[in-house]
Structure 1
Amino acid sequence: MASSPLIFTVRRSQPELVRPAAPTPREVKLLSDIDDQEALRFNLPFIFVFRHEPSMTKKNPVKVLKDALSKTLVYYYPGAGRIMEGAERKLMVDCTGEGVMFIEAEADITLDQFGDALQPPFPCFQEILHDVPGSEKIIDRPIRLIQVTRLKCGGFILALSLNHTLGDAVGLRQFIHAWTEMAQGANQPSIQPVWCREILMARDPPQITCNHREYEQITLPPNTIKEEDTTTTVHQSFFFTPAHVVAIRCLVPLHLRQCTAFDLIAACYWYCRTKALQLRPEEEVRIMCVVNARSRFTDRLSLVGYYGNCIAFPAAVSTAGKLCGNPLGYAVDLIRKAKAQVTEEYMHSVADLMVIKERCSFTDLRSSIVSDWTRAKFAEVDFGWGGPVYSGAAKGGLGSFSGGTFIVPHKNAKGEEGLILPICLPYEDMKRFAKELDEILGSQNHATISGSSFVTSAI
């Protein structure tokens, strides 16, 4: 952590609604039975940080982004509507065309002053994306909250909050790509958005045909208090260079070494987190990996342009004793097998389960969940100012679930390419987590990094 906090002031305009630039259909559109599950009923914050671009000096990024957003919403018009809840908790979009919430802001700081703080956790995020009253809710509220903050150096920060029921990271990437195309003068998106939520509606009659351990409902004994309910949770990021990934890969058996960097880092996270929590050997633990299922469908062409949720959370399950008592390859093997479960039938089975089990959430007890953003290509987002210095999650956690995290590509202040893992844990557990990770990496034990601390004031 930095020895002294970075202090700066953010001045914000009043929030306003940005509406589609042309009339859009007034209709009600059902979300899919994958979209409206309890686990996705939260707002997910993203952040994109852009440097000053000399060729764009005469252009105001706020105006460019706002005008392009209005044009993009003509094609993605459900995003300008409002979520409603119907019978049996079924979610739908009322396409009112009311618009998305947009805030213009200025900060008296340069990008260079942030140093290595341009990564999760962003302690200033509450000012970079102002908490408009009611914005944490998803029903009858603007589906997106966006803030563009100009910096003293000519750079700017784009922060947005996505209602996860409307789409996943792939869908968000598609929307933002269309937005950048409009900002650079296009008349329409190169990929036309497809609604088609009926593809992932429950069958009639619904039937659960696959094993879904991610949705097993496990309850604690009466009067049990979770540790995270009584301790202060801290946020910290861990940076993995290619050398770190190689070091981890050397720890797994030869037949598993063709696995992805995601598999390796997810296995490290599961192992180190379980050790840090000091669970009893017989206690069951699980890790759920977010799988983009688009490629698992036979008719992939029907999903081209689909920006809804097409993801699953297959769970790898073990006892704490077996997970921590075995080499890392044990965790990698379980994760790979869990991900391989996801097929087109698996997705239909999840949709059916949601209807049968009243849109339940995944199991959060002694659980963690990891999302792979290594292929999301957020680093290629370009509104005319070049690619972002940082793009991705603003913090660890998924909504109120502190066990969630993301693996995000990142280049640090030294110019090193790598992957960031932002996590949340109670303070003492975080210290144990870092120690366990250092032991895994051995001589490559410089993976732990965290953003500089800083204080903000708002006007």
Structure 2
Amino acid sequence: MRWFSTLARSFTVRRQRPTLVRPARPTPHETKLLADVDDQQGLCTHLSLLHFYSKRKWISDDNIIAKEDDPVKVIKAALAETLVFYYPFAGRLREVGPQKKLAVECTGEGALFIEANADLGLEELAEELHPPFPCLEELLFNVPGSDAILHSPLLLIQVTKFRCGGFAFGLRFNHTMTDGIGLVQFQKALAEIARGASAPSVNPVWERELLVAENPSSSAPPSVLHETDVVANTIRTLIIPHHLDHLVHRCLFLGQTEISAIRASLPAHLQSKCSTFEILTAAIWRCRTVALKPDSDEQVALLYAVNARQLFDPPLPQGYYGNVVKTAMVRTTARKMIADNSFEHAVKLVMQSKVESRKMSIKSASDMVLPDTPPIISLASFYAVSDARRMGFDEVDFGWGRPVFAGPVKNYIPGLSTFYIRARNLKGQHGVVVPIDLPEFAMENFFHEIETMVTSVN
């Protein structure tokens, strides 16, 4: 089986009362406007991640000896120090001006922090260390009243200690403040200070004025090319009767053997030219489309996130941690996706879009306007992908070594999106985890299509 199983394991987590962790020293009390690409409806949400760590490695990878063995004390103290440098995260969002632009009032109120203890060892969750997490509410508690966009904490962190000495680090963040790459920058700064550093190795840069549109609309700021914005602007017009309420949630693990087998199903001249991302994305998009059985004339669209930091001319400064994500879009018909050569067709479409995205140059936020998107008339007509494999979640070391799993906890829009994250299966094999949400009939079809692709060349 190439699916991870999901167990309905029951365990008890004892949480302490949530507290606010303030910056360790006084920070400026000022109001900072968000960039136009931050200030959009699609990013007005909170996203969550989980990291799992084994028992303490007394000497971390950079040979800094950690004297304190309690991860709660280490991370909580480091958070207070890190918020001195990232002090906007200790503030609260407000609406300012006649257009009600979002801004951070740097009040120094702090981030929410929860200490917890679980009555089991980390090894007992071995089969559940992947999305979707059945234990999410236990490991990242949604403090009542804390998840509003305005006037609420911008960060919530829960550290849950296991009986074995390992722990879970759960984090929820307000997406208007940062994207995945910016969040990893913050997490690495927190980890460096937890390991004994006096300051982050990369200084955080706010400078959101660099991403203000040159010719802003009179009614609203431009939309960044981002999968969440696409979904937010179209989800109200869904014509998907009840499908999103009857989804099966599975998690696909593809190791190097499976990925190589899928690659081998392509013509020889394409095999060496395709990246793993292009192989994965084309295969999953094609199998998902076939599994959902759309009308053959239906338009199907694939969107995927692109880190736009390297596309700016002049480049953005190192340490900028705002939202800088574009989305490339590919469109075709269901008929072409179901044809005999549909995988090759999908691969070529994704490859061409990657080439075009690398040729882009961005001079201002005006260049990040969302293109027209097709209407969502079925689950098959829209699919969004985010590649989190190289963002660095699995490099965050608080002094206990690298995590055994680290990354997002669930798909942003169940049924319409997915992400890729690096992980290991129970045999210790490295591979890619892909959370999948589909109706039950389509999940069976999808599983069959993936199995066929993996085994057809053997």
Cα 1:402–1:29 shift into 2, 3 Å: farther
What is the CA distance between 1:372 and its match in structure 2?
1.1
SS of the equivalent of 1:374 reads coil
Runs (4+) of structure 1 moved beyond 4 Å? 1-5, 205-225, 360-365
Equivalents in 2 of 1:38, 1:434: separation in Å?
Answer: 35
From 92, 95, 104, the equivalent of 1:82 is 92
- Match runs of 1:239-258 below 5 Å: 239-253=253-267, 254-255=269-270, 257-258=272-273
Which one-letter code corresponds to 1:295 in the other structure? Q
1:234 aligns with 2:245: no
Per-residue CA distance 1:159-211 (angstroms, 9 max, x = gap): 11121111111101110110011101111111000112122211136699999
CA shift at 1:213, angstroms?
11
Which residue number in structure 1 is paired with residue 131 of structure 2? 120
Instruction: Say whether 1:27 aligns with 2:30.
Output: yes
Give RMSD over aligned pairs. 3.1
- Note if contact 2:56-2:400 (Cα within 8 Å) is conserved in structure 1: yes
Query: Please, which of 93, 105, 109 is the counterpart of residue 104 of structure 2?
Result: 93
Other-structure match for 1:452:
none
Q: How does 1:134-173 map to 2 (within 5 A)?
A: 134-173=145-184
Q: CA deviation at 1:362?
A: 9.6
Query: Which stretch shows the higher mean deviation, 19-28 or 51-60?
Result: 51-60
Task: Report matched runs for 1:379-418 at 5 Å.
Answer: 379-395=394-410, 397-398=411-412, 400=413, 402-418=415-431
Q: Kindly state the Cα deviation for residue 123 of structure 1 after the two structures are TM-superposed.
A: 0.4
CA distance in 1: counterparts of 2:14 and 2:223, whole angstroms: 52
Residues 444-459 of structure 1 mapped to structure 2, 5 A cutoff: none
Q: String of CA shifts for 1:50-99, please: whole Å, max 9, x gaps.
A: 00126379621001000001100111111111122344352221111111
Which amino acid in structure 1 is aligned with residue 73 of structure 2? K
Partner of 1:348: 365
Structure 2: state its 5+ residue gaps: 59-65
Structure 2 contact 312–363 (Cα < 8 Å) conserved: no
Do the aligned partners of 1:244 and 1:444 also contact (CA within 8 Å) in 2? no
In terms of mean alpha carbon deviation, does 47-56 or 217-226 score higher?
217-226
**Preserved contact between residue 314 and residue 363 of structure 2 (Cα < 8 Å):** no
Distance in 1 between residues matched to 2:178 and 2:195, nearest whole Å: 24
Preserved contact between residue 51 and residue 388 of structure 1 (Cα < 8 Å) = yes
CA distance in 2, matches of 1:379, 1:392: 7
Q: Secondary structure at 2:153's aligned position in 1?
A: coil
Taking a change above 3 Å as real, the CA distance of residues 85 and 440 of structure 1, as seen in their structure-2 partners, is: farther
TM-score (norm 1): 0.87
For the pair 1:42 / 2:45, whether they are aligned, the reply is yes
Q: How much has 1:232 moved relative to structure 2? A: 1.9
Contact 2:289–2:338 under 8 Å retained in 1: yes
- The answer to whether the aligner puts 1:60 opposite 2:75 as a matched pair is no
Higher RCO (CA 8 Å, separation ≥ 6 residues): 1
Q: Secondary structure at the match of 2:252?
A: strand
Deviations 1:256-277 (A, max 9, x none): 6322211111112211221222
Give me the whole-angstrom Cα distance separating, in 2, the residues matched to 1:211 and 1:364.
Answer: 19
Q: Deviations over 1:355-412 (max 9, x none)?
A: xx9xx999655211111112112222111111100011112x21x4542211111112
Q: Point out where structure 1 has 5 or more consecutive residues left out of the alignment.
A: 446-459
Correspondence list, 1:255-404, <5 A: 255=270, 257-300=272-315, 302-325=316-339, 326-342=341-357, 343-345=360-362, 348-351=365-368, 353=369, 366-395=381-410, 397-398=411-412, 400=413, 402-404=415-417
Distance in 2 (alpha carbons) for counterparts of 1:69 and 1:41: 24
Distance 2:308 2:38 in 1: 13
Deviation at 1:111, TM superposition (A): 1.1
Distance 1:252 1:347, change over 3 A: farther
Matched pairs, number:
436
Query: Is 2:19 the counterpart of 1:16?
Result: yes
Correspondence for 1:176 among 158, 168, 187: 187
TM-score, scaled relative to structure 2? 0.87
